[in-house]
């Protein structure tokens, strides 16, 4: 079972510079450079935990999202350097790149859907089933049933036409 893809996948998705839905490692390098400029708002080549949290809130959707300050701060000196940031982001790219071809396609970026509880949420299968049978019936609650009958009758008529046609060929 693969680990769920985190919000960092969103970040790589928008690094698709030529909009071909594939994020090449070259595109990621450019994108990661740009992200560092967002992180290092003071342009002192260092990011504090506060800088990372501010960046994460905007770029990852949550200040506590992963990768966080601790995951970036490889040497644990409490500050994140440009290299630490970029190395970690490249590592994140490699983790997402499941087939190791140095590009991220959408299937490598999609978030795994939350597991739905077993049971009849929102009416379950039945409401979907009845909605679908109403599809061809047009407006009106009882249309579905009548349409189904009408279609059956029509099919029967078509069948006998077909039978007559095939009888005529004899
Ligand atoms: Ca691309
Ligand atoms: Ca550090
Ligand atoms: Ca790949």
**What pLDDT sits at residue 4?**
52
Whether 38 contacts 55, CB under 8 Å: yes
Rounded to the nearest angstrom, the distance between the alpha carbon of 5 and the centre of ligand 3 is: 14
Rounded to the nearest angstrom, the distance between the alpha carbon of 26 and the centre of ligand 1 is: 9
Query: pLDDT, tens digit, for every residue of 102-159?
Result: 999 999 999 766 677 766 555 555 555 555 555 444 454 454 444 444 445 455 555 5
Name, in order, each residue with C-beta under 8 angstroms of 37's C-beta and a sequence gap of 6 or more. none
Of the listed ligands, the closest to the CA of 107 is 3
**What pLDDT sits at residue 43?**
74
Of the listed ligands, the closest to the CA of 17 is 1
Topology of the domain comprising 7-109: Recoverin; domain 1 (1.10.238)
Query: pLDDT, tens digit, for every residue of 14-64?
Result: 999 999 999 999 999 999 999 999 998 777 889 999 999 999 999 999 999
- Report how far residue 150's alpha carbon sits from residue 158's, in angstroms, rounded to the nearest whole number: 12
Domain spans of the chain, in order of start: 7-109, 132-169
Only one residue has tokens 């992963």, namely: 66
Binned at pLDDT 50, 70 and 90, residue 70 comes out as very high
Rounded to the nearest angstrom, the distance between the alpha carbon of 61 and the centre of ligand 3 is: 24
Write down the pTM of the prediction.
0.65
Rounded to the nearest angstrom, the distance between the alpha carbon of 95 and the centre of ligand 2 is: 21
**What pLDDT sits at residue 161?**
56
Q: Is it the case that residue 11 has pLDDT exceeding 50?
A: yes
């Amino acid at each position: 079972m693969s680990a769920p893809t985190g919000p960092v996948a969103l970040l790589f998705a928008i690094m698709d510079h030529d909009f071909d839905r594939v994020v090449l490692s070259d595109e990621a390098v450019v994108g990661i450079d740009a992200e560092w400029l967002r992180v290092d708002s003071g342009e002192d080549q260092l990011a504090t935990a506060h800088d990372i949290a501010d960046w994460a809130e905007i770029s990852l959707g949550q200040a506590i999202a992963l990768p966080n300050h601790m995951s970036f701060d490889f040497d644990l000196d409490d500050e994140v350097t440009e290299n630490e940031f970029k190395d970690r982001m490249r590592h994140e790219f490699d983790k997402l790149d499941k087939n190791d071809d140095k590009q991220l396609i959408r299937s490598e970026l999609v978030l795994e859907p939350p597991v739905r509880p077993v049971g009849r949420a929102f009416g379950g299968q039945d409401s979907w089933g009845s909605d679908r049978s109403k599809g061809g019936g047009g407006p009106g609650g009882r249309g579905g049933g009548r349409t189904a009958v009408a279609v059956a009758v029509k099919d029967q008529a078509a069948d006998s036409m077909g039978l007559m046609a095939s009888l005529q060929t004899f």
